Amino acid sequence: MNKVNLKDKFSMFDGLWEPKIVGELNNQYVKIAKLKGEFVWHQHQAEDEFFMVIKGHLTIKLRDENIELDEGEFYIIPRGIEHKPAAENEVQVLMFEPQSTVNTGETESDKTIDNPQKI
């Protein structure tokens, strides 16, 4: 494994809501993604989900509150909690997830990515 420069990795793609794998550890993927607009309501029954904002501002909508994240902040969504990420402007995020995690959880959507690309 070589060191990873996140700025370089983010420059390799433009697609939104298309997570890319940039590393692996302990049966988990380290993923990055560019987000803008609203995602779909979804949950992960068996996995927690870690979101860290690298650049921009992210809102994680929960059914009873909104979590606002700025650069350098992260939030862990516990398994089974329905959530919906949203970003008014493009945001860059880093995520840690078990390798089995599908980005839309049990919800099928045009944003579902079953096999994220490694970059």
Contact 107, 44 (CB under 8 A): no
Q: Percent of the chain having pLDDT more than 70? A: 94
For the chain, what is the domain count? 1
* Position 32 in a domain: yes
Reported as a single tens digit per residue, the pLDDT across 93-114 is: 999 988 877 665 676 777 777 7
Residue 28 lies in a domain: yes
Least confident range from 44-48, 63-67, 96-100: namely 96-100
Beta pairing partners, 51: 75, 95
- Whether residue 37 is contained in a domain is answered as yes
Asked if residue 74 belongs to a domain, the reply is yes
Residue 49 within any structural domain of the chain: yes
Range of the domain at 34: 22-103
Q: Is residue 16 part of a domain?
A: no
pTM (predicted TM-score):
0.88
pLDDT band at 75 (very low <50, low <70, confident <90, very high): very high
CATH of the domain at 71: 2.60.120.10
Whether residue 116 is contained in a domain is answered as no
